[in-house]
Amino acid sequence: SILEDNVSMIMNVGDQVDSGSIRQYEFTHLYKSREVMSKLPIMTCVGNHELFKDPELKLYDGHYASYGNMDYQGIKSYTAFYYAYQAGPVLFIVLNTDGVSEQQKQWAKRVVEAADKDASVRFIISVQHRPLYAEQWASDTNPWMTNEIMPILSSSKKHVLNCAGHHHLYARGQ
């Protein structure tokens, strides 16, 4: 079909649901995505809305539990809050901007260092929910991501793109 011929996968940057309830996962997110999901993989990132009624991600894990078991070069996060996976020559590093930690930072560092040595990885794309910078709501960003994680990602010439969401706005340029 036209969709599969032009798109290989979808990476959602968070806020799949509004309040994190099981009904919203099943009817708002999964039900409405069923036509696309039956044809394409859809990967997700945890947003603040997933945490509203589910701060430990129990409902999210019910649908995406395998994320914590994904590994890149044997490096696992053991949590759906953040993980990495390779799709062809692209390594996706999915980060949690609503639960920052030294553990996540060290995990990201190990992943980037391994990717730098891996000839099968041509590009690294980082994904998180809260943006590095914002034209609107400029204070609603994630300084930890900007100050702690971006230097790690930027240390690799393979890191070519950072994707984020959160503000539910469309903006170009910075």
Check residue 95 and give its pLDDT. Answer: 96
Check residue 141 and give its pLDDT. Answer: 75
pLDDT digits over 104-153, tens only? 999 999 999 999 999 999 999 999 988 887 767 667 778 899 999 999 99
Q: Is residue 64 over pLDDT 90? A: no
The Cα–Cα gap between 86 and 90 comes to: 6
Please compute the mean of the pLDDT values over residues 79-98 and round it to a whole number. 95
Q: Is residue 171 over pLDDT 60? A: no
Higher pLDDT, 30 or 93: 93
| pTM score of the predicted model | 0.89
Provide DSSP, 78-147: SSTTSEEEEETTEEEEE--SSS--HHHHHHHHHHHHHHHH-TT--EEEEE-SS-S--SSSTTSS-HHIII
Adjacent-strand bridge partners of 94: 83, 127
| Residue 157 banded pLDDT, cuts 50, 70, 90 | very high
